[in-house]
Every structure is written in structure tokens, then in C-alpha cells.
Structure 1
Amino acid sequence: MEHINIEYFIFFTAVLLILGVLTTKFSTRLGVPALVLFLMVGMMMGSDGLGLIHFDNPELTQLIGIFALVVILFEGGLQTKWSSVKAVTVPSLSLATIGVLLTTIVVAVAAKLIFDVSWLEGFLFGAIVGSTDAAAIFAVLKGQNIRDRLSSTLEAESGTNDPMAMFLTLSIIELMTVDNASYLLLIGSFIWQMGAGLVMGLLFGKFAGFAINKINLDSSGLYPIFALAFSLLTYSLTDIIGASGLLAVYIAALVIGNGDLTYRHSIFRFNEGFAWMMQILMFIILGLLVFPSQFLNTYIIFKGLLLAIILIFIARPVAVFLSTIKLGFTNKEKVFLSWAGLKGAVPIVLATFPMTMGLENSQLFFNVVFFVVLTSALIQGSTISLIASKLGLNGPKKVEAPHSLELVSIGKANAEIVEFEVSETSIITNKLLKDIKFPKEVLINAIIRNGDLVTPHGETKIHAGDFLYILVSKRREKELTSFLNSSMENT
């Protein structure tokens, strides 16, 4: 019997992953965020759907959800360029803290009036849905040609506001369950969680980058696993000391991703694929936990839709407009930031905490939050690109390197492959290779142009949009990077 159960478990895991991957293809064509389709796959396979999988374990869901969030935040931090984020640090942090708090307050008032719950229960509603979701934001914005300042603000906000939402949720639950809970102690706890989380992230990020570069592993495939292990270590040890593990993971990933890193492409590609797998698994599990018969009724639909409308059209705009006062955003940009406040996995995972704590109305919390997230993803997630276009906030089309080339790495040899995209404003644009004065110990290995490989030689002309793969000795890498960057700035 155990053997049969194992076979069925592996079979259903394979089926769910295949369905999850296929839905990403259809989501692009249908203009619907992939997370919605992942949720629907879970609901379809669950007890209220085809009845293939019976799953009603909120504790396991919470564990899988937090593990997946660690992986997703780590991947998002690796891909985030500090040069883009540092310009929007103040507004993104303001949105991640003040913005979440303001959203919580507005939603709390609405939930109190709509569902006739206590004030603490109303604030619990607000805290659960107060943050934008990193998994949803990273997935929806990837490949979109939205202005860098706006996309960077949203990515940084979503990467740093989960700790705020989790802190508020757990603090309100403590106030509801502990007789002598102290508001003053909660404020001190917040300062400790955020401050220590930031410090732990910086320390682990520096240490992880050093360890990855210095260790000499026999297989390049071990480097991505080594990096991922540091993300899990960062979260666990930070959480053990009572600080924000999620914040620490995101900060550590920022440090690692923006430093010199051996086997960079291998690490990035592995974590990108693993983050997709965890996102698929997390949303499908969340879909399995939901019983459509419990929330697809007149009461939940009507009141849940009313709360979702208030969240989308009142709470989020109020939070954005107030928390970005005098921070350099135009009204159109604030409207877009308001609309792009996507809800996703985090609110649903947070909604499992009242269930595991055995709170009264916990099932109501979960059903309403799930409906609100579904509404937000369908309405906002599918129209982000359209709204940006209507508001005239599109930037230049984003192009990702179609290939990666990583022949040697600083972990194995005293050389590195540098990938460089040639811009319109670069002074090497439209120049012959023989006329470009690169630093010494530099060799152009390959040029990718419109998806085709161009063999470089002295008479090769460099075009805007070309991807250059440059072999450089370790000691000349910073000089080469400085040369390439200065060439763009001095045009």
C-alpha cells in the first residue's frame, strides 16, 4: 500500500508540474497572470473539483508557502540591479512600511463595516492583504517595457513589504490571543525584526558571495545549490533570533547578485527555474486548500467583491499617494503604482495563520482573502501593461540576452566571461572592433545579433542591441567594466 501511495504521489507531482508549466504558456496568450491559472489547476484537482487530490492541511500549506517565498525572494533579489534600486530606495521603503500600514487601516475599517467583525479582526483582514506580492510582481513585470523607475520601485517594494505584512499579522494575532500583550513591546519587536533582518542580510550576503567565489567545487552544477543553501540558512538563522528572515533573504540576494560572482549564469538560471517550480507548487497547493463551494456563494462573492473594490480603488491609492508625497512621482505614476499593487501568494499564506492558531472566523478570513487575491490578480494583473500604455509610462523595450556563455569562471581560472549589451548611446556603437581601445588582456569571444552568432574579427562593426561576450583576466575585469560603463555615460 505504501508503495502504491508513493507511486501516486510521484505521478500527481509530475502531472501538477506539467500542468503548471503549460499554464505559463497559455497565460501569456490569454493575458491572464500565471498565478491565477496555477490556483485554478489546484482547485480543479481538489476535492471540490475532479476530486483527484484531497488536501486540507493548513500547517503543511504554510510550511510550503514560506519555503517557496524564500526561494522566490532570493531569485528576485539576485535579478535586481542595485543601480536601479538605489535610486528608488526611499519611495519603495515608504511604500513597504507606511504604505502597508495605511492599506491595513483603510481595509480594517471596511472589513469591520462589511463583515461586522471586531476591530482587531478587521485589522487582521487589513494586515493580511496589506502587502503587494513579490511572486506576482516579479512574474507580471518580467519582460514588460514599463519605465525602469516604476518597475524598480514595485520590485523593491514587493521584496521588502512582506516582512511588514507578516509582522502586522502576527502582532494582531498576538493581541487577539494573549491577554497581556504590550503595544510597546510590539513596537520594539518591529524595530528589532527590521533592523536585525537588514544586518543579517548584509552579513550573510557578503559571506555567501565570498564563499561561493573562494570554494573550488568539482562540478559547476553544485554552485547554484550552494547559493540556494545560503538563502535557506539566512532565513532560518535570522528567524531563530526573532528577526525578519524574509527581509534578510532579499537583502542577501541583492548583495550576492550585485557582486562579483563565479558561475553567475548557472546560479541565476538554476534559481530562476527553481523559483518557477516553487511558485507553481505553492499556488497549486493553495488552490488545493480552497474548497470553491465554501467561497463561491452569494455572501462571500458580494462582500468579498466589495472589499476587493475598496482595496483596489481606495485603500491602495490612499496608501500610495500619502506615502509618496514629495518623492518625485507624477500623478500618473502614482495612479500606476496604485493599480500595480498586486495581491498573490503572501496574503493567502498569511491567511493560514489564523487557521493554524484556531481563531474564530479563521475559515471566513481564508475564503475572503482568497477571493480578494483572485479578484486582484484577474483585474489588476491582466491590465498592468494596458494601464501603463494608456498613462504613457512605457519605457524602451526590454531585451534579454538570448544566450549565455560561461566557458571559465574565477572559481576555476584567473579569467571571466563578461556579458555586455550595446546600447544606442554607447560610443562603441557603429565602430569597428579594431578601432575600439579595450583594456589589455581582453578578447571578444562572440557577438549575438538578433539571435544569430556573429564571429568577431577586426572588421566587425558593433551595432546597438548586440550582446558581446568578452573574455577578460580577473585583474582586468573591473577596468573593463569601468570602460564599458564610462563609454555610455560620456556620450
Structure 2
Amino acid sequence: MLEEILTSNQTILLTALLLIISVVVTKFSSRLGVPSLVLFIAVGMLAGSDGFNFIYFDNAGLAQTIGTFALIIILFEGGLETNWGTIRKVTKPAISLATLGVLITSLLVGIATKLIIDVSWLEAFLLGSIVGSTDAAAVFAVLKGKNINDKLEATLEAESGSNDPMAVFLTLAFIQIIQEPNPNYFTIAGSFFWQMGAGFVIGLVIGKVGSLSINKINLDSGGLYPLFAISFALLTYSISALMDASGLLAVYTAAIVIGNSELTYRHSILRFNEGFTWMMQIVMFVILGLLVFPSQLFTLEIVLKGFFIAFILIFVARPVATYISLSFLKFNNKEKLFISWAGLRGAVPIVLATYPLLTDITNNQLLFNIVFFIVLSSTLIQGSTITMLANKLKLVGKEKYNPIHSLELISIGKTNVELVEYHVNEHNSINGYTLEEINFPEGTLINAIIRNGEIVTPFGQTKIQEGDFLYILVSKQNKKELKKVLDNEKILSQI
């Protein structure tokens, strides 16, 4: 009994230390120019049996479960933060990259794998399928706050959020073909269209139900709304998976629907998901780092063969797939070059590489180690140079401002009013006008203005300035009207 309690306490202590170390290393990731996910993996590898031997972990099934759960949370957060007005303009290139691009990448990497490694053609194409898609966690993390051109950032985020289903389908299809002597290829092909179509529809439906439920149900505590939103992400994935549809596509679709709806407690939901996503990224990459054994990974054979395949992926397969996928769309050569370079690999390929580990495929451990090395190479080489390339190609825009992200809605108890915090920037039309000149909805009250860290008591002649934080009390039924005013409509009062 005492020994079990001691073991439990030691586990909690070790978990706390791993989380603290992982959070602290994010501070150094930007200084070192290395994506934080690489450092999370390094923490896991150091804590593993080939490092300081704190934890022995080789449970591929558990790693897959944790990885899938983390991907649900990451995709949900990415979808919530996605502006449909922006992403709608890039649906064609994103879909093309997410389907045709993944297929071409998988094919070319598969051919290279067969030529470099002594495996069968089916195993080679299995590896190509595993690394065929870009990774949402890596792309979202690396692009965040980099001020990349809106069209390019939206394309990359939409691609990474929607191309995982194609990679999952190809991976499972090749595993089935390898294991079954006479697979039904028509059934396999038909399942692709079912997975994509059903996943999309389920995501739309549950997303709409979720947004309506969040707004209609008056919960006792504001802290319950983020949990309520997360529950719809898990519900979306589980229903889709049970219906053999694409759960990841459904989650991303549902998140876009919910994120682009008028939500009560929007700020609380977004901030909770941001923190929870960071936690799941840390847990996922640390677990994946624990799963790999450096003594097996960093052998001369794995390093050399993995490097050559990674080279083909980064400098041949991804660029060819990008240029072909975008050949009939309005992207210039600089933009195509950047999109091809920003196709980061991350958690998804490693999670998919655990699928063969759970089967009796002959070279499953070899494939896992090669995939792991490819991911490390891609993240280190591409992830650390994305900003530099964007600056070199002059694809970095002005500092971004998104009213949806800067608008914090804090519900006051169970009353029918909300307190809105709004940050004014130089592009807002209310900038430079006095409060009495602005046509705020009836019953709206400006409680306070924070200017340069000081509180300004508002009155009719107070002039709005760039950088001001406005704290506005408004009834819920007038929230949309207020948002129109703040979003540059009906600015001046009719006086």
C-alpha cells in the first residue's frame, strides 16, 4: 500500500517536472530558432530509458490513443481560430493540396523509399503515405504570430487541417492491402469518398448544434462553457469514427462552424482551448519522444537512409506536389516555393507510424524509426527557416489585427449584459472620433478607457485614440449591433 502511494507520488512529481521543463523550453525555442515541438520531443527522449532512464515507455497503442486525443484538441483549437471569410478564398488550393498533393507526395516518397531501403513496394508506399500530409500542430505553431501573407497562411492552415484524412486513409489502405491477400480495391476506393463526405457533413451538423447549444444553455459557471465546447469536439470525432468517417476532418469542420458563430463566452472558450492545446502538444510530443529509443534511431543506417528520404521529401516530393496541385490556380512562383517549404511534418506522421507497430508487418519498427527521423529533419530544417524565407521572398505583411481575437466578451453572472473589451488600432474607423460622435447602440455604456497604462474616465468629448482599450457594457441583444459599429459600420451618430 505504502509502496503504491510512493509510486503514485513519484509519478505526479515526474509529470510536474516534465511539464515545467517543457513549458520553460518554449522560451528558448524562438531564441534558438528551433520549433518548440522538437524540444518537447527531446525532453521525452532524455527522460526515456535511453536518456536518464526516468521512464520506460514502449506502449505504441497508448501513444496512439494519446496522440489522437491531442490531435482532436489541436485541430479544434485551430478551427476555432480560423476566419471563414479568409479561408473561403483558399478552399480550392487547400483541397487540391490536401488530396492531390498528399497523393503525389506519398507516391514520390514511396518510390524513393523503395530505392533507398530494402523493403517491399507496399511497405515503401506505406511509409510514403505516413509522411504524405503536413502537420496541423507544427504548422499552426510555427506560423502563429509571424505575419505571413494572409492568403498563404490561410492556405497552409486549411491544408494542414484538412489533409490528415487523406494520409490516414492511404496509411490504413496500404496496411489492409499488405495484410489481406486479396483486398477489394473498389471497396477501399469507395471508403475514401465516404470518409471525406460523411466526415464533412457530420462536422457541419454537430458544429451547428454545438454553437446553438453554447448560446442557448445558461450554465451556472462561465468556466463550464469551454468544457462544453470541448465536449462537442470529442463527440464529433467519436461519432465520425464509429461511422467509419473521417473524425479529424469532422472535428476541424465543426470547429470552423463554431468559431465563426456568435458565441457567448467566446473569449473564455478561445483562451481555455489555447492553453489546453499547448498542454496536449507538450504531452503528445513528450510521449512520442519517450516512445522512440535514441540508441535505435541514431544508428548510421537510420540516419543516412532517413536523411536521404527526408531530402527527397523536402526538396523533391513536396515541391513537385505543390507546383502540380497549384498549377491552375493564382499563385506565383514565390508563393508556391514558400508553400512547398512550409509543408512541415510533425505529430501526425509519428502517430500514423504507430499503426504498423500494432500489426505484424515485417519492417514495422524500421518504418517507425525512419518516419521519426524524417519528422525531426523536416521540423529542424524547414521549421527553423520559414520566417527567414518569408522575409527573403517578401511575403511578410504588416502587423495583423483581428477584431475577433481582440474582442473579449465576459458575461456578468446570469444577467443579460456583457462587458466587452476592445483594442483600438490605427485601422479602426472609430479612431480619432469622440464618444458622442460614435453611434453606439442604445443602452451601451463605456465604463472605462485604458490609455498608456492609465485609466481615462470617459465622457462625451473623450476622443478615441490608437492603442486605447475600451471597456463597454452592452446588452446581449445589442451585441451584434455593437460589433457592427466596432467593425466600421454605422460609425457616426446622426446628429
* TM tier, smaller: over 0.9
How far the C-alpha of 1:418 sits from its partner, in A, is 4.3
Equivalent of 1:160, from 159, 162, 183?
A: 162
Distance in 2 (CA, whole Å) between partners of 1:473 and 1:221 is 21
**1:194-233 correspondence runs (5 A):** 194-233=196-235
Distance in 1 (CA, whole Å) between partners of 2:461 and 2:44 is 56
**1:166-205 correspondence runs (5 A):** 166-205=168-207
Distance in 1 (CA, whole Å) between partners of 2:361 and 2:469 is 56
Q: Which amino acid aligns with 2:119?
A: V
Equivalent of 1:309, from 308, 311, 322?
A: 311
Match of 2:430 in 1: 428
Q: 35-44 or 76-85: which moved more?
A: 76-85
Q: Contact 1:131–1:162 at 8 Å: present in 2 too?
A: yes
Aligned pair 1:298/2:291, yes or no? no
Match of 1:54 in 2: 56
Q: CA RMSD in A?
A: 2.1
Q: Which amino acid aligns with 1:83?
A: G
Distance in 2 (CA, whole Å) between partners of 1:19 and 1:146 is 30
Task: List runs of 5+ in structure 2 lacking aligned partners.
Answer: none
CA-to-aligned-CA distance 1:229-282 (integer Å, 9 cap, x gap)? 111111111100110111111111111111111111111111111111110000
3-state SS of 2:133 partner? coil
**1:78-89 correspondence runs (5 A):** 78-89=80-91
Equivalent of 1:384, from 383, 386, 402?
A: 386
Distance in 2 (CA, whole Å) between partners of 1:432 and 1:147 is 34
How far the C-alpha of 1:456 sits from its partner, in A, is 3.3
Q: 320-329 or 433-442: which moved more?
A: 433-442
Distance in 2 (CA, whole Å) between partners of 1:156 and 1:483 is 30
How far the C-alpha of 1:460 sits from its partner, in A, is 2.7
- Percent identity over the alignment is 60
How far the C-alpha of 1:435 sits from its partner, in A, is 1.6
Equivalent of 1:115, from 114, 117, 122?
A: 117
Equivalent of 1:408, from 408, 411, 423?
A: 411
Task: List runs of 5+ in structure 1 lacking aligned partners.
Answer: none
CA-to-aligned-CA distance 1:356-393 (integer Å, 9 cap, x gap)? 11211111111111111001111111111111000000
3-state SS of 1:286 partner? helix
Distance in 1 (CA, whole Å) between partners of 2:457 and 2:385 is 42
Q: Contact 2:222–2:411 at 8 Å: present in 1 too?
A: no
Match of 1:458 in 2: 460
User: TM-score if structure 2 supplies the norm length?
Assistant: 0.94
Distance in 2 (CA, whole Å) between partners of 1:489 and 1:323 is 43
User: TM-score if structure 1 supplies the norm length?
Assistant: 0.95
CA-to-aligned-CA distance 1:283-326 (integer Å, 9 cap, x gap)? 00000011111121111111111111111111111111111122
3-state SS of 2:218 partner? coil
Task: Evaluate the alpha carbon distance shift between residue 446 and residue 379 of structure 1 in structure 2; reply closer, same or farther with a 3 A threshold.
Answer: farther
Match of 2:20 in 1: 18
CA-to-aligned-CA distance 1:11-64 (integer Å, 9 cap, x gap)? 111111111111111112212100000000000010111111111110110010
Match of 1:128 in 2: 130
Equivalent residues, number? 489
How far the C-alpha of 1:221 sits from its partner, in A, is 1.1
**1:288-367 correspondence runs (5 A):** 288-367=290-369
3-state SS of 1:471 partner? strand
Task: Evaluate the alpha carbon distance shift between residue 471 and residue 327 of structure 1 in structure 2; reply closer, same or farther with a 3 A threshold.
Answer: farther
Distance in 2 (CA, whole Å) between partners of 1:39 and 1:198 is 32
Task: Evaluate the alpha carbon distance shift between residue 471 and residue 339 of structure 1 in structure 2; reply closer, same or farther with a 3 A threshold.
Answer: same
Q: Contact 2:267–2:410 at 8 Å: present in 1 too?
A: no
Q: Contact 1:427–1:488 at 8 Å: present in 2 too?
A: no
Q: Contact 2:429–2:488 at 8 Å: present in 1 too?
A: no
CA-to-aligned-CA distance 1:381-436 (integer Å, 9 cap, x gap)? 11111110000000112358998754426x93333344544443433222222222
Equivalent of 1:477, from 470, 476, 479?
A: 479
Task: Evaluate the alpha carbon distance shift between residue 257 and residue 455 of structure 1 in structure 2; reply closer, same or farther with a 3 A threshold.
Answer: farther
How far the C-alpha of 1:141 sits from its partner, in A, is 1.1
